[in-house]
Amino acid sequence: MSKYIDPRYKDIKPYTPGEQPKAGSLTKLNTNENPYPPSAAVQQAVQGQVSTLHRYPPPAAEELVNALAHQHGIQPENVFVSNGSDEALAFCFQALCPNGAAFADITYGFYPVYSKLYHVNSKIIPLRQDFTLNPEDYTGLAQTLFIANPNAPTGLALSLAQLEDLLQEDRLVIVDEAYVDFGAQSAVQLLDRYKNLMVIGTFSKSHSLAGARLGYAIASQELIEDLNRIKFSFNPYNVNRMTIAAGVAALQDKAYHEQCKNATMEIRRQSLDILHNMGFSCTNSMANFVFASHKNVPAEEIYVKLKQRNVLVRWFAQPRIDNYVRITIGTQSEMNILFSELRGIL
Ligand SMILES: *Cc1c(COP(=O)(O)O)cnc(C)c1O
């Protein structure tokens, strides 16, 4: 740290991303990326932008906003696009938490980090023993709620009825749907009825574009105006030309999206059976990962030994979940490598 840093940032503990090794012979099941590359159409669309990179991108990214509105059956006024959904979440913490924030004790690790960064008081609400969220625990809270649905790293999803319970009181509810395409129900369909709802989405998981950095928010026109107020005071060109083109092409290529996500859901189903037979218990994950705890072998040991065998999974040294590993659903052959190494370890 330099002596020039503002003391307010001295004790921030930055988010720790999953390891991104230099590729090679590693089986990488640690950061919930899509194991399938972007489709040929997306790759071509990105190529098509290279010759225009001397120009700034369109600041409102109209083409992409329109494509997202069309996809979700809403109006362009209800859509905001961001440099990864993390940026949209950051803007929410910065500008949409006048009464503080509230979120679960076990959830996306960026919520507490942004909360610190933007000096937002946060109330941490413990999940039940089985990691389910009880909407009643949020009764009477005036804070802005951040709900990852499905949740990370547990994979557990709330029903729309449970989300509606949270929306009854007059406070902003931000539903982070990073993993929604792998089997949960999207809250976008509740938008007409709840002005206090914002849904955050990303292209990093089901759309195979983690490296392009593209996310979005869907909400009332007024809330979208609030996000634009922050964006145009910070970085009007937050989504670059290649990423805008990639996003539009990815939304058009519906068949490829379906195919990849169906493959992941099918491999998840098989993987849960195999892990169960090996002595793991797993949560009922609706995401592109499983969250698994072994009856005999501690999770940290599994994580370390898998790493020695060139298989990367995620382990969190955090109370309540430190006997679990989070394993991203890879391709069939990646999962076969995982299972054979796991058999060796167990
Ligand atoms: C992966 C993830 C995100 C996505 O972040 P991007 O910035 O869009 O890559 C957001 N929320 C949760 C809960 C996630 O797991």
Question: What are the tokens at 10?
Answer: 């001295």
Q: Is the pLDDT of residue 279 over 80?
A: yes
| Torsion 9-17-175-63 (CA) sign | positive
Average pLDDT estimate for 16-32: 85
Residue 86 CB less than 6 A away from ligand 1: yes
**pTM exceeding 0.85:** yes
Dist. CA 114–CA 86, nearest whole Å: 9
Average pLDDT estimate for 252-266: 97
Place of tokens 């037979």: 277
Residue 341 CB less than 6 A away from ligand 1: no
Q: What is the pLDDT of residues 220-248, one digit of tens each?
A: 999 999 999 999 999 999 999 999 999 99
Higher-scoring residue by pLDDT: 265, 25:
265
Ligand 1 mutation pick, 87, 103, 151, 205, max ligand atoms within 8 A of CB:
205
Measuring from atom 10 of ligand 1, which residue has the nearest CA?
178
Q: Which atom of ligand 1 is nearest to the CA of 87?
A: 7
Ligand 1 mutation pick, 176, 182, 214, max ligand atoms within 8 A of CB:
176
Dist. CA 118–CA 121, nearest whole Å: 9
* Contact of 144 with 101, CB cutoff 8 Å: yes
Measuring from atom 1 of ligand 1, which residue has the nearest CA?
178
Residue 148 CB less than 6 A away from ligand 1: yes
Measuring from atom 3 of ligand 1, which residue has the nearest CA?
178
Distance (angstroms) between ligand 1 centre and the Cα of 297 equals 30
> Of 12-21, 64-73, 121-130, which range is least confident?
12-21
Q: What is the mean pLDDT of the chain?
A: 97
Q: List the beta strands (DSSP E) in 208-286.
A: 215-219, 280-282
Residue 176 CB less than 6 A away from ligand 1: yes
Of the chain, the end-to-end C-alpha distance in Å amounts to 43
* Contact of 241 with 48, CB cutoff 8 Å: no
- Cα-based distances in Å from 113 to 100, 269, 328: 14, 33, 23
